[in-house]
Structure 1
Amino acid sequence: MSPADELKHEHKTILMVLGAAERKIAEWKVAGRVDRPYMAEMVDFFMNFIDRCHHTKEEKHYFKKMTDRNKEAVLSLVAVLLQEHEEERRRLKATVESLSRVKAEGMLPDFDAIEKNLLGYVTLIRDHIVKEDQSLYPLTDRILTTDDQRALMEAFKKIELKEMGHGGHEKYEEVARRLAGS
């Protein structure tokens, strides 16, 4: 598996949860209440799997290696992707803040803010994934050497261990399946 393949696999996992988030928003809107345990697990997935693990792999290693090897081909695209990561973080923070106002019994004091922030976050991530999968990742084999790719895979393992602990990646794959199946 190449570094791009691993990141694309993670994208598939992320997309499962994004689809589930869209379904849950519709359910919550009809019900007038939020499933708090589900919401907490979803936010944990966004913060830890997407931002702390996936984005760290990209920002600290993959993007850097790609730009080190061929600035002309990828520099402007990587700059856009990094800006999008920052926007995703801002939107996630707004989502968490709006969700934090959900009352203990799951009642929604301001559903419009929750819907706007969560669906905005989902849209940002979806659009971002398309850019990476269709524009950046296909360049991997052309730009990175076999040694570069091996080094990236090793760096990815270290990030997973540091950010999520032993077995953390598998745990979040299971969380994604559970969230998508709810």
Structure 2
Amino acid sequence: MSLAIDDLMHEHDAILASFQLLDGMSHTLALGKQISADDAAQFVAFLREFGDKCHHGKEEGFLFPAMVDAGLPQQSGPIAVMLHDHTQGRAWMQAMEDALAPAFNPDAFVSALHSYVLLMRSHIAKENNVLFPMAENILEADQLQTLFDQFEAHEAQVIGAGRHEELHALLEQLLARYPAPAAAHAH
């Protein structure tokens, strides 16, 4: 596997791991306990910065255009589906943000987060199992290496040095505050 695709798949793993927070927050609410509005806001910020600006930025700014240049249509097929999913994901993130203010609505937040997680789990499966293997088939090794270099530069510019680690640390803190019930880890 190329470094470029490996990088995107590692980011997918981190995004999927972050979704355990949905189980933890849902469990907290089911127990009649409160979710902190600050924690909810920090999680949306994580999804926006890491999932959207950094990860989707790499795909939309570099991978998808390279695949279109290699002959895939942009207005139909897998690229169009991925772009539609990204747009839908942003709409769910907006719904999460709308649930934060003027007064925090935990149920609306968790409901929007649930819809986002369902969409993104399906989206990630499509990318990992269809789009990424397709990219490795239609792009040359030097193109994939160029993509990786572009990904590294994008990440440095968009989130900066050391921010990846800070975001992972934030996520670990949130997951520790909202532990999912043991059975939730199975799906």
Shorter-chain TM-score: which interval? 0.7 to 0.9
Name the counterpart of 1:150.
145
- Which residue is equivalent to 1:67? 68
Cα distance change, pair 25–126 in 1 and its aligned pair in 2 (3 A): same
- Write out per-residue CA displacement over residues 42-62 of structure 1, whole angstroms, 9 at most, x where no aligned residue: 111111001110010000101
CA displacement at 1:32 relative to structure 2: 4.3
Aligned residues: 176
Q: Which amino acid aligns with 1:17?
A: S
> Which residue matches 1:54?
55
Aligned-pair CA distance for 1:130? 0.7
Cα pair 1:66 1:144 within 8 Å, conserved: yes
Moved over 6 A (4+): none
Q: Which amino acid aligns with 1:163?
A: V
Query: CA-atom RMSD, angstroms?
Result: 2.1
SS of equivalent to 1:166: coil
- Aligned pairs for 1:29-48 (under 5 A) are 29-48=30-49
* Structure 2 contact 25–110 (Cα < 8 Å) conserved: no
For residue 101 of structure 1, report the CA deviation from its aligned partner: 4.2
Q: Distance in 2 between matches of 1:140 and 1:160?
A: 20
TM norm structure 2? 0.85
Partner of 1:131: 126
5+ long unaligned stretches in structure 1: 104-109
The equivalent of 1:173 in structure 2 is: 168
Q: Which deviates more from structure 2 when the two are superposed, residues 142-151 or residues 46-55?
A: 142-151
The amino acid across from 2:155 in the alignment is E
Partner of 1:71: helix, strand, or coil? coil
Worse-superposed segment, 112-121 or 10-19: 112-121
Classify the secondary structure of the residue corresponding to 1:45.
helix
Q: How far off is 1:111 after superposition?
A: 4.1
Mapped contact 1:16–1:180 kept (Cα < 8 A): no
Aligned to 1:92: 93
Percent identity, please.
Answer: 30
Q: Please state how far the C-alpha of 1:100 moved relative to its aligned partner.
A: 2.5
Look up the equivalent residue of 2:86 and give its one-letter code: H
Mark the runs of 5 or more structure 2 residues left unpaired by the alignment. 178-187
The answer to whether structure 1 residue 77 and structure 2 residue 78 are counterparts is: yes
1:13 is displaced (CA, Å) by 0.4
2:142 is aligned with 1:160 = no
The 8 Å contact of residues 41 and 97 in structure 2, kept in 1 or not, is answered as no
